[in-house]
Structure 1
Amino acid sequence: MDYTRLGRSGLEVSRICLGCMTFGDPDRGNPKWTLVEEASRPLIRKAVEEGINFFDTANIYSNGHSEEIVGRALKDFAQRDEIVIATKINSPLREGPNAKGLSRKAIMQEIDHSLRRLGTDYVDLYQIHRWDPVTPIEETLEALTDVVKAGKVRYIGASSMHAWKFAKALYLSDRNGWARFVSMQNHYNLLNREEEREMIPLCVAEGVGLIPWSPLARGLLAREDGHESVRKGTDILRPVLYGDTEEADGRVIDAVASVAGRHGVPRARIAIAWLLSRAGLAAPIIGASREGQIEDAVKAVDIRLTEEDVRELEAHYVPHRIMGFE
């Protein structure tokens, strides 16, 4: 496994991040295709054995159950000082006022809930899960700075939003001496490259590390079209993100298959290798329901694509709708 700094920060993370939305009791909350703890633990152990030190979850995943599973497993399989735990805040876990958002009250209460579920004294990377259109960003940034100063959080990160909003947040942090976002978790893969227009150049210029979600485009880049699974059948985001561009996306998927054939490797490795070659890219966040998927992601780190490979992979891209910000 290779490791890199997360943006300009001093934090070292593995080039692959294990996304932990897969782990959780399906009866406790969304998504419904999650794996119970008994099935989740071997995957977390496999990731640690492969050298992955970066684990991304969120308070909303299975209504907190993902955090509980991840916390217990990492305590058993790894040394806390060597592990980078990332979690997120914004979405509601309950009904009622102050149950969601990025207010000072929400941040102060939810970080304590996350720490309790994770069974740790601190979170390495605390991320805002999208933009809160109600709470002033100044309130959010000051509260995040306070949890950093309190020792509950080491670094802060952000996720999918308009580039102008992220630029505003970085500017306000610099002007006021507040904690600065070190990472951007955005939607970026071979089927959706819209972030190359604004967000990625901004992050490269500002030294913010990219940790994109859905690197395999909800599985579309990993296998032949027509494959059926529980996740595919219940994934409400897949048709929203890729339903309007199926014909063009199909040509990109065919290109991935062609390049994978030349290299003699599974398609997933090529899609991840392409991401790893992008400017500012620290670690794609991969989901896994089988140990083989973790192995594919880790082996992608060693693949070196040629200029011909990259041209073929990028040749058929068409613009996509901007989705997933709010």
Structure 2
Amino acid sequence: MDYRQLGNTGTRVSELCFGTWRFGKETGGVVETDREEAHELLDTAWENGINFIDSANVYGTPHGLSEEYVGEWLDDHDREDFVVTSKVYFPYNGDGEPGPNDRGLGRKHIRAQIEGTLDRLDTNYLDVYYIHRWDENTPIEETLRTLDELVNEGKVHYLGASTMAAWQLTKALWTSDVEGLQRFDVTQPLHHAGYYEDVREYLEVCADQDLAVCNYSPLAGGFLTGKYERADPDDPEAVEAPDGARGSFDDFFGDWYASERGWQVLDEVRAVADEVDATPAQVSLRWLMDWDDFSCIPIVGARTPEQLEENVAATEVDLSDEQWDRIMDARYDPDGDLWG
């Protein structure tokens, strides 16, 4: 495992980040990853050199369970060996129905949630604290000033921003600069080779401002692993899914991850995978890690240690510039327009 600078910060992280959004999460009344499985996955991540762990206050059923699992595991390890993140924004219902101030990015909610997060993780500080979304009801200056206080108090090392528009990210960075506040150093957008939305402007801001990109869902919910097949040549959202795969029980899978662009990219990913003797998942992850414009650290999840080890093996894959370009070019139709 190689390590790289986290954007413009002085912190070095593994080439992959381990995501814990499945920890304690119930789907259809079934827990996707229980406590024992979570700790086994964390063991596997650490044994393979991953020192970067991503969580959020709303991961788990009830909320906060993911952070608890991570905190319990960290108790048996040296906290200083790890770069640990969490997030704030969504309504938190760990103790019942959320109240009117149990959501968003106002001072009251952020202050309450950072204390709960630190308690569940059993740590004195977070390495990165993300805003999980943009809050249209709270002035960005209030949010940034509150986050700035957390950095000055030593509760947070760096600030991060998850999904938002490019103009919102730019506005936040500008506000920090003008007001002399801590700025975002890390971003966490939805970004993968076959994403049907164009996030070019967002990524250009990250490149210009030397922000790290820790993209979530880098394998498009499993679509880019190659285990899905096209069910209808005239309907890109129709997929054939193997039993037990996400697409077999998630009614929104086709709407969210399958697109004409996705199928075109997947075909090229499969071709490159054959050339380099790797799996489509490994090629898809390596393609992201090889971005030159910014440090790109994909957040990988896994249901089993074997899946995680397959993902980690992406760090050993080598793509030529020509192969990388072919995957990028597969996003465009013969007229040079992005596939839908």
For normalisation by structure 1, the TM-score amounts to 0.91
Gap change, CA 1:54 and 1:304, over 3 Å in 2 = same
Secondary structure, counterpart of 2:194 in structure 1: coil
Per-residue deviation, 1:265: 1.4
**One-letter code of the match for 1:20?**
T
Q: Which runs of no fewer than 5 residues in structure 2 stay unpaired?
A: 229-240, 333-337
**One-letter code of the match for 2:49?**
G
Structure 1, 310-319 or 266-275: larger mean CA deviation: 310-319
Q: Tell me which of 101, 104, 108 is aligned to 1:105.
A: 108
Per-residue deviation, 1:32: 5.8
Pairing of 1:125-136 with structure 2 (within 5 A): 125-136=128-139
Aligned to 2:35: 37
CA displacement, residues 223-243 of structure 1 (integer Å, 9 cap, x when unaligned): 321323263344465333234
Aligned to 1:261: 274
In 1, distance between residues paired with 2:29 and 2:125? 26
In 1, distance between residues paired with 2:273 and 2:69? 34
Q: Which runs of no fewer than 5 residues in structure 1 stay unpaired?
A: 322-326
Aligned to 2:86: 87
Gap change, CA 1:253 and 1:294, over 3 Å in 2 = same
Secondary structure, counterpart of 1:254 in structure 2: helix
**One-letter code of the match for 2:43?**
R
Structure 1, 82-91 or 278-287: larger mean CA deviation: 278-287
In 1, distance between residues paired with 2:86 and 2:66? 10
On the 8 A contact 1:275/1:281 being kept in 2, the answer is no
Query: Which is higher, the Rg of structure 1 or of structure 2?
Result: 2
**One-letter code of the match for 1:144?**
L
Q: Tell me which of 132, 157, 162 is aligned to 2:160.
A: 157
On the 8 A contact 1:57/1:86 being kept in 2, the answer is yes
Per-residue deviation, 1:252: 1.6
Higher relative contact order (CA 8 A, sep 6+): 1
Q: Tell me which of 239, 245, 252 is aligned to 2:254.
A: 239
On the 8 A contact 1:32/1:234 being kept in 2, the answer is no
Q: 1:14 and 2:14 equivalent?
A: yes
For normalisation by structure 2, the TM-score amounts to 0.88
On the 8 A contact 1:98/1:105 being kept in 2, the answer is yes
Secondary structure, counterpart of 1:18 in structure 2: strand
Per-residue deviation, 1:296: 2.1
In 2, distance between residues paired with 1:287 and 1:190? 17
Structure 1, 16-25 or 208-217: larger mean CA deviation: 16-25
CA displacement, residues 25-84 of structure 1 (integer Å, 9 cap, x when unaligned): 528xx99662110111111011011110000010001111000001111222x3101101
**One-letter code of the match for 2:100?**
P
**One-letter code of the match for 1:240?**
D
On the 8 A contact 2:56/2:64 being kept in 1, the answer is yes
CA displacement, residues 210-232 of structure 1 (integer Å, 9 cap, x when unaligned): 00001001101113213232633
In 1, distance between residues paired with 2:304 and 2:31? 13
Count of equivalent residues = 316
Aligned to 1:324: none
On the 8 A contact 1:55/1:85 being kept in 2, the answer is yes
On the 8 A contact 1:187/1:195 being kept in 2, the answer is no
Secondary structure, counterpart of 1:121 in structure 2: coil
Q: Which runs of 4+ in 1 moved over 4 A?
A: 30-33, 193-196
